[in-house]
Amino acid sequence: MLGMTIIGYTLFYFLRKNFSFAMPGLEQDLGVSKSMLGNCLFAGGIVYGISKFLNGFIGDRVNARKMLCFGLAICVCVNIAFGFAEEIAGLFLGEGADAASRVATLAVVIGGLYVLSQFFQGTGFPPCAKLLAFWIPPNELATKMNLWNTSHSIGGGIVAKICGVIMGLGVIGSANQGIGMWKWCFWSMAALGFAGLVLLWFGLPGTPEEEGLPPVPGTETLKTESQTTMIKGDRPSVWKGVFSHPAIWVLGCCNFTINAVRALVADWGPTMLQEAKHLTSSEAGTVIMAFEFAGIAGMLLSGWVTDRFAGGRSPRVCVFLMALTALFLWLFLKLPTGAASGAALCAVGFCLYGPQALTGVAATNLCGKQFAGTSIGFISLFSYIGVSISGKVCGTLAQSTGGWQMPVTVIASTAVAGMVFFLLLWGAKADNYGE
């Protein structure tokens, strides 16, 4: 189960983070500005957050395999359509359309496809969260959910390298922008997504109960209580199980700051590294891949430390990691181009991805397995508001100031705010499964 869900969410990442590497080509080849791309990221992030929240509620009530495969299939189709954005825009343009109309129409088409993709991307996480909560007892959840969360970095790292190389193949003269190759960032990932879709349809299991197995030891008490209340006609409500917890709202604020920081690198990283650090497309892809793989190490270590030394109280670990994230962002800004600045960015990934994974652990432990999808979907709504605002603000600041110093400074300050929010949860209980 764990391996199949990792594969599943990795495929969703293939079909989402390829957009970041296509962005320089969209700007150079089609004339779509950073501000327009920032608008796409803003709208897409909001839609993704809403989708993840709504689908979290749905995911707690439907078959996980069918939900995940349906969403993945739609994302594959949308990525194929991305490669034909010019042709789609041409259907709406009359003969002799001027350049401004062409760019505006392209921006609408690209934005519309991106928003559609982001909506169905929201069907990926909830079924995975549901399966993890039903198959893994709470005393092991931090370690194993962080292992599962490596799918973010595995997907982001692989797509960074593949798409970085693809974009580099389109170099014309000294303009290392992947001209003419951005389409293959979408088509290549769509092909991988389709192959994985077949594997998941036949290989992804349901919950233990759906597979005819007894509940996993450590989760039986919650199931028994849930069944008892259902017999009485008083099934726990979403309001009581999720929204009435003040800590869930604070976790949402934590997620806002984490994902605002992550969006700087995940969405704008390839462009930022090429413009601010003067790297080639392939070199930028390698740095982003290293950032993601450093995040894997950070996730695994933070999960182990949480279970081993913090008694499952993940916010305590996150306080220190967010402080270090802010420090390494500042170092990345100050260090000159070279191995040192690349190492600083990798350190950001190492420190940031632990909190990114542990907020999901905290939400699941706080609300219990029957509300796993809903609780994580709710805090994810905050996270992708953070992604949206970060994407828009960073793009606008980079274009208006002509550089990346101001965007990085703002995001480093956001990491400090995240540390403060986690401090508010220092005394939170490890889990509420027995209540």
Tokens found for residue 409: 């400074």
Q: In the beta sheet, which residues pair with residue 172?
A: 175
**Using CA atoms, how far apart are residues 338 and 357, in angstroms rounded to an integer?**
29
User: At 157, is the secondary structure helix, strand, or coil?
Assistant: helix
Give the tens place of pLDDT for each residue, 78-92: 999 999 999 999 888
Reading the block at residue 380, the tokens are 């994810």
Task: Spell out the residues 6+ positions from residue 152 whose beta carbon is closer than 8 angstroms to its own.
Answer: 9, 13, 292, 295, 353, 356, 357
Residue 428 lies in a domain: no
So what's the pLDDT on residue 405? 92
Give residue 25's pLDDT band: very low, low, confident or very high (50, 70, 90).
Answer: confident
CATH of the domain at 353: 1.20.1250.20
What are the tokens at 360? 């999901």
Residue 210 lies in a domain: no
- CA atoms within 13 Å, Cβ hemisphere of 135: 23
Please state the pTM of the whole predicted model: 0.73
Query: Which residues, other chains included, contact 205 with Cβ-Cβ below 8 Å and sequence gap of 6+?
Result: 1, 4, 65, 131, 211
Task: Please tell me the total count of domains within the chain.
Answer: 1
- Domain, as residue range, for 249: 2-204+219-423
Instruction: Spell out the alpha helix ranges (H) of 242-337.
Output: 246-276, 281-309, 314-334
Give the C-alpha distances (Å, rounded to integers) separating 374 from 56, 296, 380, 415, 427.
Answer: 4, 25, 10, 26, 23
Q: Concatenated DSSP letters for 234-261?
A: -PPPHIIIIIT-HHHHHHHHHHHHHHHH
Identify the weakest region by mean pLDDT among 67-81, 237-251, 373-387: 237-251
Residue 430, domain member (yes or no): no
pLDDT score recorded for residue 253: 94
Is residue 63 within 8 A of residue 429, CB to CB? The reply is: no
Nearest alpha carbon to residue 35 among 398, 407, 405, 403: 398
Is residue 159 included in any domain, yes or no? yes
Nearest to 22, CA basis, from 137, 190, 200: 190
First to last CA, the chain: 27
- 22, 43, 161, 166, 186 from 182: Cα distances, Å: 5, 21, 14, 8, 7
Q: Confidence band (pLDDT; 50, 70, 90) for 100?
A: confident
Task: Read off the pLDDT of residues 299-324 as tens digits, 9 standing for 90 and up.
Answer: 889 888 887 887 778 889 999 999 99
Question: What share of the chain has pLDDT > 70, as a percent?
Answer: 89
Structural tokens at position 325: 């994230």
Mean pLDDT lowest for which of 87-96, 228-237, 285-294?
228-237
Tell me, yes or no, whether 372 lies in a domain.
yes
Classify residue 213: in a domain, yes or no: no
Instruction: Look up residue 140 and give its two tokens.
Output: 């092991």
Look at residue 201 in the predicted model and tell me its pLDDT: 93
pLDDT at 69: 95
DSSP 47-103: HHHHHHHHHHHHHTTS-HHHHHHHHHHHHHHHHHHHTTHHHHHHTT--TT--HHHHH
Cα angle value 299/302/307 (rounded, 5°): 125
Backbone angles phi, psi at 172, to 5 degrees: -120, 115
